[in-house]
Amino acid sequence: MKILLTADLHFHRPWFDWLRSEAPFFDLICIAGDFFDMEHPAGLLPQMIFLYDWIADLARQKTPVALCTGNHDLAPGSILVRPDVPILSKDLSVIVHYAKAARWIHALKVDHQFAVDGDQKIVRTKLGESLTVVCCPYRADGRVDQWKPSPGKSIVLHHEPPANSQLAIPKTGNPELSLILEKLHPTWCVSGHVHFSPGEQNQFFERIGSTICFNCRQNPPGDLLPPRPNTIVLDSSAGTAAWRRWFSTTSYDETIARLD
């Protein structure tokens, strides 16, 4: 199984476009939170409409997608739309979908291929491989929603990396996630939140008990960003994880780690 891992897109549209074009080459795409740019001049509603349309296009690729929320995704008090930004009539049906959803991200479950906050589901490839996907919502109180242990391989999405790990440096990470990983020991866990930090080790994978945890160390938001997001390609058959990190608008390096 070939899985693409990333996070912290912060409404950089070229990165969304690239992910859509890459989808057919993977068995699963995992995005661990922070889809939105909280400082976007148009507010959040236009971003939500774009994200819904992007998901609808992605669904046509027939690649399963797992999503979880991050701390930048509709925080309390967020401005949905600015007074001078009109809502087009063609977008009203999309707004209705969001209005009907228990949480905004649930509106993105346009078909059975998508897993979002609160979901625990089995993904199967065309070759018959299976994987349990768990999507944990971001919670401002630091709590982590537990999931049911499942047989076979599993991957957990949680925006904050586990505490007391290199993946969280220079921040602190989530203490409860570390405890739950040691208790339930899923095969893999993918997070984001902690961006690439110059001068730090910027480790992209680490074992917590028997769980292999990942953080793609996304480049932080800025005026000049590379054409593609930082990503990790997890190849379960080969037992490898390849971290591709862009360090300029034209150049990247790739680190391949063996996981066995």
2 CB neighbour count, 10 Å cutoff = 15
pLDDT at 21: 97
What is the pTM for the complete model shown? Answer: 0.94
pLDDT at 87: 81
Question: In terms of Cα–Cα distance, which of 251, 245, 234 is closest to 198?
Answer: 245
Question: In terms of Cα–Cα distance, which of 25, 10, 30, 28 is closest to 156?
Answer: 30
Sheet holding 240-246, edge to edge: 114-115, 65-68, 28-32, 2-6, 231-235, 240-246, 252-258
Cα dist. 63→46, 122, 209, 240 in Å? Answer: 25, 13, 30, 21
pLDDT at 128: 86
pLDDT at 113: 94
pLDDT at 84: 80
Domains of the chain: 2-258 (3.60.21.10)
| Higher pLDDT pick, 199 / 101 | 101
Q: Is the pLDDT of residue 178 over 80?
A: yes
pLDDT at 46: 93
221 CB neighbour count, 10 Å cutoff = 17
* Average pLDDT estimate for 97-102: 89
49 CB neighbour count, 10 Å cutoff = 19
